[in-house]
Amino acid sequence: MMAAQNTPSALGFRMPAEWEPQAAVWLSWPHNRTTWPGNFKPIPRAFAALVAVVSRYEQVRINCAASQQPRARQCCVQAGADLARVTFYDHPTNDAWCRDHGPIFVQHRTTGEVAVTDWAYNAWGGKYPPYDLDNKIPARVAQELKLRRFRNPLVLEGGSIDVNGQGLLLTTEQCLLNPNRNPHCTRTQLEKNLKDYLGIKQVLWLGSGIAGDDTDGHIDDITRFYQADRFVTAIERNSRSPNYKALQDNLSRLKSFRTPAGKRFKIVTLPMPKPIGFRGQLVPASYANFLIINGAVLVPQFRQPRRDAAACAILGDCFKDREIVPLDCYDLIWGLGTLHCLSQQQPADLGALGKH
């Protein structure tokens, strides 16, 4: 662990909110057939559709072994991606979940410099070995882009946290306090580490995530900031659902939170999709797994027209200045994640843009 005076926070860095200007979205090309057992065939096409949409708005940077790049590029062409905005990097991976194995970027408060925080990655508590290639991705990205890199020995996945860019971080006890991540760390020690490396001032703790989530309760399936003092949170209307109690508990906690100024947060509720199962397994389908990019919000769709449309309308009200783009994620969710899980945003270097 680096000395406290040399932590990213002490040096002036903080993690920006997802709605702040982005330089690019990072992805990791899907190739692990065991992630989508018996249903891998449509996955490259669904993934390429994501690449195509993001490329309409900003740069797309893809971790992809050189041997896989010709086929991946062909898929992106067929999907209509703007290849002038798509760059492939010869970064071999074990799996596709870039939100969790990719770098968590931070930005200097005054100069705008972008840097990489490189946390340990253990595939959600050692569930899916091997993960050695995935664990190397942040270092590879930092080296490729010539960015400063801050290494942290603690386990942290990008999908387990959400920030408002102004000092608040949202997470769940089920994930961050799980003994399969950092068993020797107390809640207080974890909070200090997050403050030191991500430049936040306060951690807001929710309880548990949704059923079928193999990540042990990632926040990006349940609750997200959409402004510095506003949350959008998934709720379940069916009291017989396994998600009902956990999501009601989280809603109660959100209502109890106060902003640094002592005010209540505004809370917008988002419906859950009807339960989706593959081969008898419930999957963690959630509209909260949306992705914010420059000028748009990409919303997962699960072939449930009324609920899909309702989720888009609600998020449209939250993000009035961005285009709402629905994307079919029915096949992707068999891998137990969708748009946000697959992606990691890289903040714009405001210094390079001449903004200080």
CA distance 26 to 59: 9
**DSSP reduced 3-state for 236:** coil
75 carries an active-site annotation: no
CA distance 83 to 289: 26
CA distance 118 to 296: 28
Please check whether residue 127 is in contact with residue 133, taking contact to mean a CB–CB distance below 8 angstroms: no
Q: In the chain, count H helices and then E strands.
A: 11, 19
The secondary structure of 3-15 as a DSSP string is -GGGSTTTTTEEP
Please check whether residue 19 is in contact with residue 292, taking contact to mean a CB–CB distance below 8 angstroms: yes
- Which residue in 76, 318, 329, 341 is the catalytic one? 341
Query: CB within 8 A of 76, min separation 6: which ones?
Result: 48, 51, 52, 83, 86
Helix H or strand E segment including 227: strand 223-227
Exposure string of 25-63, with b = 16+ CB inside 10 Å and e = fewer, is bbbbbbbbeebbeebbeebbebbbbbbbbbbbbbbbbbb
CA 319 to chain centre: 18
Burial class, 217, CB count within 10 angstroms (exposed 0-12 / middle 13-18 / buried 19+): buried
Query: CB within 8 A of 125, min separation 6: which ones?
Result: 178, 180, 181, 216
Query: CB within 8 A of 183, min separation 6: which ones?
Result: none
CA distance 195 to 62: 29
Catalytic residues: 341
